[in-house]
């Protein structure tokens, strides 16, 4: 696989985001996109196997069951781009179905290099596939993929795993509208979205018994230590999952167990914590089925069809650029 590597200002952006998030008045925060270094990507892979976290398996089940039907609905030569490919495991079904029809170019866009490497290992045995990976933020990567488009070729974008849920709702619409802005009419987007479910089920999914999600969350502090030279004492922070009914989301926080101060040299800050104060690290918004159609319409897409998993409420929506 050819990999286009990330530009070197990423470390500065990380330091700037950490500084801005930890120096905020009121709720401190760190952006969830920084979960996915090598350790975080490996932990997320484990989360996807946990009995409490059915999201990834539901996504994969739908893709496995409906891959042929999805591909049949997309006529002509198609290049496939995936925003956040992860290990690429669940994409195999779709790519195999495309490659049975025609030689297919697959462009995974990932901020995690280790995920790109896993993805290539997982998928390179498929006959008639060519893989070119982009170590980029989603929209930057998609812009580059669009520049690769051959004349007469349609782009089919995958945004799976309910990553859309990690944006707040207005930002989700804006993100989809930005994707739409890069596409041409008739191109398509397959959007995987986790649906609303009981709070007790969500709390178990985001605070599992084994403590893998806790490790995934705490790894963000470990990454700040590793990459920015900070001195977070991981044992002095506790993972917590909270339901936010207003935003219909599950939030993850890291709660300071005592009064403490932490230095982050590369971000040039010393951060003070009082006991019980938290860093908000992620929100996972859950959607109603009809809401996905309305959200897509506001971003300039028509919903062609949806497939719903009954075992773990989750929707795969095929959206066409209007
Ligand atoms: C990647 N994303 C959709 C996952 C989610 O469910 O929000 C990340 C995750 N956070 C905790 N567990 C998994």
Please give the number of the atom of ligand 1 that sits closest to the Cα of 166.
Answer: 7
- Pick the atom of ligand 1 nearest to 250's CA: 7
| Atom of ligand 1 lying closest to residue 84 CA | 1
Of all protein residues, the one whose alpha carbon is nearest to atom 6 of ligand 1 is 284
CA 166 to ligand 1 center in whole angstroms: 7
Q: Are 182 and 109 in contact (CB under 8 A)?
A: no
- How far CA 273 is from CA of 25, 50, 109, 242, 259, in Å, comes to 12, 32, 36, 20, 5
What's the CA gap between 214 and 239, in Å, rounded? 5
d(CA 264, CA 225): 8
3-state class percentages of the chain: helix first, strand second, coil last, to nearest 5: 45, 30, 30
CA of 284 to the centre of ligand 1 (A): 7
Neighbours of 276 (CB within 10 A): 11
192 CA from centroid of ligand 1 (Å): 13
Mutate to test the pocket of ligand 1, among 40, 44, 193, 219 (most ligand atoms within 8 A of CB): 44
CA of 206 to the centre of ligand 1 (A): 8
Best residue among 282, 286, 312, 315 to mutate for probing ligand 1, ranked by most atoms within 8 Å of CB: 282
The DSSP result for 120-162, as a single string, is HHHHTTSTTEEEEEEES-HHHHHHHHHHHPPTTPEEEEEE-TT
Task: Find out whether the beta carbon of 165 lies less than 6 Å from any atom of ligand 1.
Answer: yes
pLDDT, position 266: 96
Q: For position 112, what pLDDT does the model report?
A: 81
Distant-in-sequence, close-in-space partners of 83: CB < 8 Å, separation ≥ 6: 109, 138, 141, 142, 157, 158, 159, 163, 179
Q: Using N-to-C axis directions, what is the helix angle for 169-182 and 138-148, rounded to 10°?
A: 20
Can you list the pairs that 39-43 forms with residues at least 24 positions away whose Cβ atoms lie under 8 Å? Answer: 39/219, 39/222, 39/223, 40/112, 40/216, 40/219, 40/220, 40/223, 41/86, 41/112, 41/114, 41/115, 41/118, 42/114, 43/212, 43/215, 43/216, 43/219
Give, as one character, the DSSP assignment of residue 99.
H
User: For residues 294 and 302, what is the distance between their CA atoms, to the nearest angstrom?
Assistant: 9
Atom 10 of ligand 1: nearest residue by CA position: 206
Mutate to test the pocket of ligand 1, among 35, 86, 166 (most ligand atoms within 8 A of CB): 166
Indicate whether residue 163 lines ligand 1 (CB < 6 A). yes
193 alpha carbon to ligand 1 midpoint, in Å?
11
Q: Is 48 in the pocket of ligand 1 (CB under 6 A)?
A: no
CA of 128 to the centre of ligand 1 (A): 32
Q: What is the pLDDT of residue 284?
A: 98
pLDDT at residue 86 in the model: 83
317 Cβ inside 6 Å of ligand 1: no
pLDDT in single tens digits along all 322 residues of the chain: 666 665 558 889 999 999 999 999 999 999 999 999 989 989 999 999 999 999 999 999 999 999 999 999 999 899 999 999 888 889 999 999 999 999 999 999 998 888 888 898 999 999 999 999 999 999 999 999 999 899 999 999 999 999 999 999 999 999 999 999 999 999 999 999 999 999 999 999 999 999 999 999 999 999 999 999 999 999 999 999 999 999 999 999 999 999 999 999 999 999 999 999 999 999 999 999 999 999 999 999 999 999 999 999 999 999 999 9
Residue 232: φ, ψ to 5°: -60, 130
User: Is residue 162 in contact with ligand 1, taking CB distance under 6 Å?
Assistant: yes
Q: Where are the beta strands (DSSP E) in the chain?
A: 2-4, 28-29, 78-83, 104-110, 129-135, 154-159, 188-194, 237-244, 249-256, 260-264, 269-273, 278-285, 301-309, 314-321
Q: What would the two tokens of residue 71 be?
A: 């591909």
152 alpha carbon – ligand 1 mean position (Å): 36
To the question of pTM greater than 0.85 for the whole model, the response is yes
């Amino acid at each position: 696989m050819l990999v286009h590597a990330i530009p070197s200002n990423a470390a500065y952006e990380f330091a700037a985001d950490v500084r801005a998030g930890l120096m905020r008045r009121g709720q401190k925060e760190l952006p969830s996109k920084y979960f996915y270094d090598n350790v975080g990507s490996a932990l997320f892979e484990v989360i996807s196997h946990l009995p409490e976290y059915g999201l990834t398996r539901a996504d994969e089940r739908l893709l496995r069951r409906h891959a042929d039907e999805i591909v049949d609905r997309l006529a002509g030569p198609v290049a496939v781009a995936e925003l956040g490919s992860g290990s690429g495991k669940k994409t195999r079904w779709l790519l195999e179905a495309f490659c049975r029809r025609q030689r297919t170019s697959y462009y995974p866009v990932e901020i995690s290099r280790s995920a790109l490497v896993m993805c290539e290992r997982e998928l390179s045995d498929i006959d008639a596939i060519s893989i070119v990976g982009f170590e980029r933020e989603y929209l930057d990567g998609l812009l580059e993929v669009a520049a690769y488009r051959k004349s007469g070729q349609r782009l089919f974008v995958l945004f799976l795993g309910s990553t859309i849920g990690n944006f707040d709702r207005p930002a989700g619409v804006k993100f989809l509208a930005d994707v739409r802005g890069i596409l041409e009419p008739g191109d398509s987007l397959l959007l995987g979205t986790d649906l609303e479910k009981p709070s007790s089920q969500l709390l178990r999914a985001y605070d599992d018994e084994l403590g893998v999600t806790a490790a995934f969350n705490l790894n963000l502090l470990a990454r700040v230590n590793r990459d920015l030279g900070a001195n977070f004492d991981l044992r002095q922070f506790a993972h917590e999952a909270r339901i936010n009914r207003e935003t219909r989301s599950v939030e993850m926080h890291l709660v300071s167990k005592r009064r403490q101060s932490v230095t982050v040299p590369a971000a040039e800050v010393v951060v003070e914590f009082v006991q019980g104060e938290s860093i908000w690290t992620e929100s996972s918004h859950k959607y109603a089925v009809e809401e996905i159609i309305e959200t897509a319409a506001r971003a300039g897409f028509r919903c062609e069809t949806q497939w719903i998993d009954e075992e773990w409420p989750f929707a795969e929506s095929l959206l066409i650029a209007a």
